[in-house]
A and B are shown apart, each in its own frame.
Chain A
Amino acid sequence: MIPLHGKVVPLNSPGMDIGVIKISRDSKLHPVLAADCAFVSNGQSPMSKFKVVIAQSDINPEHINGNVDLQLPVELNHLSEGDVVSIRSDNRLRVLFRKKSHQNSILLTERCNHYCLMCSQPPKDVDDSYLMAETKELIKLIPQDTIEIGFTGGEPTLYGDEFIALMQLVKNYLPNTAIHILSNGRAFSDIDFARKYAAIGHKDMMLGIPLYSDDPDQHNYIVQSENAFNETVKGILNLKSLNQPVEIRVVLHKQNIGRLTKLCEFIARNLLFVDHVALMGLEIIGFTRANFDQLWIDPHDYKNTLSEAVHILTSYGMNVSVYNSQLCLVNADVLPYYRKSISDWKNEYAPECVGCTKLSECGGFFASGIQHGYSKHLKPFLS
């Protein structure tokens, strides 16, 4: 697990509100560029005039020539060339973008109009509009050749027109980057809002929208919101009527596994035109821990249901992926749709996995899963 935030130690003034800034590891960076960068030193002295100079935790700042502003905590020594961070006057450093990762996910807000039983990022009703402000800065610092970035929340569309404006900015700065946005889709039940979104015209921008059951009661219960089913489905219909790419995301747990195959038939009959369906294992974090008994079902126990669900969707010609799952817990017929999906900064393996020959093909676990609960049926593949 790669930590993405920590406290820096100020070496001069007590707290610098530096804001969003790009990291450089190149001590000789051209001065014109250096003026807007933070130099992270592994012992080298900066040759150019950087906006900020930061020492790794294992370096004595006094061995660096010139002024050193901050020192990293050990867990952030991984910061690399081209990464983008935010540093605030409370000395909190947050990594907003890692250049080496293909799975950058940008948090736009912690506010949400859902309160999902298994939310991994429990919503907070606070003014966190600074996240939006920072993201606007960030977008301009992300390299043009970035393959993919994701936006997440909370519910990003709660920003309304500001969300549209942000995505327009994304389109203008990152026209060739695949954009993936997690949303509950309800805002798009307003056709005018959906039209504004479609008008952005990014050529590769997909919305990932959860639909947990074909039974509206159950969907609304899982997301803890009345009328969610109607509005989410309407949102999907509006978006597809405007030719916008949409992915349906189904997190699998005890509350919806019973009707999973019926949900898949519902999707195939009613929403055949969506671009992708992701069937996703549960992440044992956030609210899932609070609702563990209501949610947890051993993936071993739904193996065959998952196979049937995948068969239904693929039979109808839909694109299907199985995410957040472990190779030894799916049947062979699921393998063509199995994706190693858990972000590199949070995947881990269990003690049972020692000696498994398929470790490199397996998505493994969320670190939280290893800590708080995983299948009793792990079985390493041995050569």
Chain B
Amino acid sequence: MSKFQPVSFYKNKKKTYQLTPFRFLKFNQEKYFLSNMTGEYLLLDRESLGRLVEHRLDDSEQSYLDLRAKQFLIDDTNSIATDLLAIKARTRYSRLPEFTALHIFVVSLRCDHSCQYCQVSRQSADKLKYDMTEEIADKAIDFAFKSPSRNIKIEFQGGESLLNFPIIQYIVERSKKLNEVHCRNLDFVIATNLSMIDRDILDYCRLHGIHISTSLDGPEDLHNKNRPRPGKDSYEKVIKGISLCREVLGRDEVSALMTTTEASLKRGKEIVDEYLKLGFPGIFLRSLSPYGYAIKTKSFAAYQTEQWLDFFKESLDYIIELNRSGIRFQEYCSAIVLSKMLTSSDPGFVDLMSPAGIGISVIVYNYDGSVHPSDESRMLAEMGDNTFKMGNVLTDSYEQVFSSQALLQPLEDSYTNSVPMCEECAFEPYCGADPVYEYAMNQDYIGRRPESGFCQKSMGIFKHLIERMEADPFVKNLFMDWANRK
């Protein structure tokens, strides 16, 4: 029928195109990895990449169509691309004006455990010395409500937070009362080792809608080795506690977090099985913390990151196979990265944000009123380094604290779009700035990429996730679900 034009009639008549900003890196022997500021990516062979940047790619090629659909190039037929890029970029940064949502209250430094990886707990009977007072709590609550965020989550931490349950009750009730005027979406979480949980505490939690977060490092022997307490029964107590929490509060009202130690590295599958056995819908495979003995000994060397990556890949691959066999189980670290890769939103995970999440996403009010921009920086302070200390609620105003150089300088220095090697890295959209880590390792906020364990670890995760989903349609579908919290 001649009244219909052929497809060639609708091709770009000018035969020219513009490139939009993108970054690339060599992914493997055949492919280059290209990404743009909104996190969209594709893999391209070197020859095509060369022709792309030389404006010699032809619109009869499949790669041209894919690059155009993902707005890596603009011609007359997709001039709308700039609008779409702008909307997606804006969506990715839409958390920034919200500012701090997570407010951590360290209600006591005292603890019944003496975990090797913890730098902050104190074995002390002296309540007055290491517990948060009402006066400090009042000031900290005022700070929390000064945050512009519509969502305010107050998390109680320790030490063992339940050793100072009265101040938790005080803070919950006072902030609820104040919220009648402030009208935020107010949530509470108690981080606890569950050793002293009981029905009365949980009844209180149910009444006030408080979520429980606990620590579970893996199978009994590993957990008890990592988390010693008098009686050597940490595992038994946490298992009983989880069960009681579910009974009183509901299945999803208690979550668990693991800490990875050297002893964990060979036992990924067992750790995953432990979480699966307990009926958790997933696990967060956390990286080794450098804030323990490793910092002092400087033994947090690259080989450990290598070992951790092996642990991560093995455990993740095991989880993927669980899903393939019909068991729904997620890995949350991957899920966070995947949502940065596959969606236009940013999940706002503190360690993978740029500008860095410190202060902006999370703030820590220590028992003594000192304010720190993250849990890790509080640990540094407890080890005697106050570099990140932003001030004290007793002596400083909210404005003074949040405009302190202890926060602003690391934020500015570590912004990935200006850090050498980060700004040109094609994985930058998925990564983030962790100035506290870099400082702990190198005494500056940036560090040097080739030597950075953070960089090595992040690159390793990104590459593995992309390799897995590009090679296997089942994994692509699974990852798409994870990226969307399904």
Task: Give A contacts to B, CB under 8 Å.
Answer: 115, 117, 214-218, 220-221, 224, 226-227, 229-230, 233-234, 237, 259, 262, 266, 268-270, 272, 290-291, 308, 311-312, 315-317
Q: Name the one of A220, A237, A291, A316 contacting B77, with C-beta atoms under 8 angstroms.
A: A220
With CB as the reference atom, state the residue of chain B lying closest to A236: B80
10 cross-chain pairs, A with B, having the tightest CB-CB distances, nearest first:
A216-B77, A220-B10, A221-B7, A214-B69, A230-B80, A315-B480, A233-B80, A221-B10, A270-B84, A215-B65
12 residue pairs of the A-B complex, CB under 8 angstroms, read A216-B78, A221-B6, A230-B78, A233-B80, A237-B80, A259-B65, A269-B88, A270-B87, A311-B480, A315-B480, A315-B483, A316-B343
Bound-state CA distance A262–B87 (Å) is 20
Once the chains bind, are A270 and B10 in contact (CB under 8 Å)?
Answer: no
Once the chains bind, are B88 and A315 in contact (CB under 8 Å)?
Answer: no
From 161 to 189 in chain B, residues with beta carbon under 8 angstroms from any chain A beta carbon are none
Q: Which A residues touch B59, using CB under 8 A? A: 217
> For the complex, is B481 an interface residue (Cβ under 8 Å from A)?
yes
> For the complex, is B9 an interface residue (Cβ under 8 Å from A)?
yes
Query: Shortest CB–CB separation between residue B92 and chain A, in angstroms?
Result: 12
Q: Which A residues touch B1, using CB under 8 A? A: 290-291
> For the complex, is B28 an interface residue (Cβ under 8 Å from A)?
no
Once the chains bind, are A272 and B477 in contact (CB under 8 Å)?
Answer: no
Q: Total interface residues on B, using CB and 8 Å? A: 33
Q: Which A residues touch B5, using CB under 8 A? A: 221, 224
Bound-state CA distance A272–B339 (Å) is 14
Give chain A's interface secondary structure class: helix
Bound-state CA distance A351–B9 (Å) is 41
Q: Name the one of B11, B88, B481 contacting A270, with C-beta atoms under 8 angstroms.
A: B88
With CB as the reference atom, state the residue of chain A lying closest to B77: A216
> For the complex, is B4 an interface residue (Cβ under 8 Å from A)?
yes
Once the chains bind, are B7 and A233 in contact (CB under 8 Å)?
Answer: no
Q: Which B residues touch A237, using CB under 8 A? A: 80, 83-84, 87
Q: Which B residues touch A220, using CB under 8 A? A: 10, 77
> For the complex, is B397 an interface residue (Cβ under 8 Å from A)?
no
Bound-state CA distance A162–B204 (Å) is 62
Task: Give B contacts to A, CB under 8 Å.
Answer: 1, 3-7, 9-12, 38, 40, 59, 65-66, 68-69, 77-80, 83-84, 87-88, 343-344, 477, 480-481, 483-484, 486
Once the chains bind, are A226 and B10 in contact (CB under 8 Å)?
Answer: yes
Query: Shortest CB–CB separation between residue A20 and chain B, in angstroms?
Result: 34
Once the chains bind, are A230 and B7 in contact (CB under 8 Å)?
Answer: no
Once the chains bind, are B65 and A315 in contact (CB under 8 Å)?
Answer: no
Q: Which B residues touch A230, using CB under 8 A? A: 77-80
Bound-state CA distance A268–B80 (Å) is 16
Q: Name the one of B11, B78, B484, B486 contacting A229, with C-beta atoms under 8 angstroms.
A: B78
Contacts A220-B10, A269-B343, A270-B344 known; list 13 others, CB within 8 Å. A115-B4, A215-B68, A216-B68, A221-B6, A221-B7, A229-B77, A233-B80, A237-B83, A237-B84, A268-B343, A269-B40, A311-B477, A315-B477
Bound-state CA distance A291–B7 (Å) is 14
Query: Shortest CB–CB separation between residue A44 and chain B, in angstroms?
Result: 51
Bound-state CA distance A126–B217 (Å) is 75
With CB as the reference atom, state the residue of chain B lying closest to A231: B80
Bound-state CA distance A10–B477 (Å) is 64
Kindly name the residue among B3, B477, B484 whose own CB sees the greatest number of chain A CB atoms within 10 A: B484
With CB as the reference atom, state the residue of chain B lying closest to A230: B80
Q: Which B residues touch A315, using CB under 8 A? A: 477, 480-481, 483-484, 486
Query: Shortest CB–CB separation between residue A61 and chain B, in angstroms?
Result: 46
Q: Which A residues touch B486, using CB under 8 A? A: 315, 317
Query: Shortest CB–CB separation between residue B82 and chain A, in angstroms?
Result: 11
Once the chains bind, are B69 and A262 in contact (CB under 8 Å)?
Answer: yes
Query: Shortest CB–CB separation between residue A99 and chain B, in angstroms?
Result: 39
Bound-state CA distance A312–B479 (Å) is 11
With CB as the reference atom, state the residue of chain A lying closest to B344: A269
Query: Shortest CB–CB separation between residue B481 and chain A, in angstroms?
Result: 5
Q: Which A residues touch B77, using CB under 8 A? A: 216-217, 220, 227, 229-230
Q: Which A residues touch B3, using CB under 8 A? A: 115
Q: Which A residues touch B84, using CB under 8 A? A: 233, 237, 270
Contacts A215-B65, A221-B10; A229 near B480 (Cβ below 8 A): no
Once the chains bind, are B69 and A217 in contact (CB under 8 Å)?
Answer: no
Query: Shortest CB–CB separation between residue A279 and chain B, in angstroms?
Result: 17
Bound-state CA distance A229–B69 (Å) is 11
Q: Which B residues touch A214, using CB under 8 A? A: 69
Q: Name the one of B4, B78, B483, B484 contacting A117, with C-beta atoms under 8 angstroms.
A: B4
Bound-state CA distance A230–B82 (Å) is 11
Q: Which A residues touch B6, using CB under 8 A? A: 221
Query: Shortest CB–CB separation between residue A52 and chain B, in angstroms?
Result: 42
Query: Shortest CB–CB separation between residue B145 and chain A, in angstroms?
Result: 30
Q: Name the one of B4, B83, B343, B484 contacting A224, with C-beta atoms under 8 angstroms.
A: B4
Query: Shortest CB–CB separation between residue B432 and chain A, in angstroms?
Result: 21
Q: Which B residues touch A291, using CB under 8 A? A: 1, 4
With CB as the reference atom, state the residue of chain B lying closest to A117: B4
Query: Shortest CB–CB separation between residue A341 and chain B, in angstroms?
Result: 26
Once the chains bind, are B477 and A217 in contact (CB under 8 Å)?
Answer: no
Query: Shortest CB–CB separation between residue B383 and chain A, in angstroms?
Result: 44
Q: Which B residues touch A117, using CB under 8 A? A: 4
Q: Which A residues touch B12, using CB under 8 A? A: 217
Q: Which A residues touch B65, using CB under 8 A? A: 215, 217, 259
Contacts A215-B65, A216-B78, A234-B80; A317 near B4 (Cβ below 8 A): no
Q: Which A residues touch B79, using CB under 8 A? A: 230
Q: Which A residues touch B9, using CB under 8 A? A: 221
Bound-state CA distance A269–B84 (Å) is 9
Once the chains bind, are A234 and B83 in contact (CB under 8 Å)?
Answer: yes
Bound-state CA distance A20–B216 (Å) is 74
Query: Shortest CB–CB separation between residue B94 and chain A, in angstroms?
Result: 13
Bound-state CA distance A215–B79 (Å) is 12
Q: Which B residues touch A262, using CB under 8 A? A: 66, 69
Bound-state CA distance A272–B343 (Å) is 9
Bound-state CA distance A170–B133 (Å) is 64
Q: Which B residues touch A308, using CB under 8 A? A: 477
Bound-state CA distance A262–B40 (Å) is 13
With CB as the reference atom, state the residue of chain A lying closest to B84: A270
Q: Name the one of B11, B83, B480 contacting A217, with C-beta atoms under 8 angstroms.
A: B11
Q: Which A residues touch B83, using CB under 8 A? A: 233-234, 237
Q: Which B residues touch A115, using CB under 8 A? A: 3-4
Query: Shortest CB–CB separation between residue A163 and chain B, in angstroms?
Result: 23
Bound-state CA distance A230–B59 (Å) is 17
Query: Shortest CB–CB separation between residue A229 and chain B, in angstroms?
Result: 6
Contacts A224-B4, A269-B344; A215 near B69 (Cβ below 8 A): yes
Q: Which B residues touch A312, using CB under 8 A? A: 480
Query: Shortest CB–CB separation between residue B37 and chain A, in angstroms?
Result: 13
Q: Which A residues touch B68, using CB under 8 A? A: 215-216
With CB as the reference atom, state the residue of chain A lying closest to B479: A315
Contacts A266-B69, A315-B484, A317-B484; A218 near B7 (Cβ below 8 A): yes
Bound-state CA distance A262–B79 (Å) is 19
With CB as the reference atom, state the residue of chain B lying closest to A315: B480
Q: Which A residues touch B40, using CB under 8 A? A: 269
With CB as the reference atom, state the residue of chain A lying closest to B13: A226
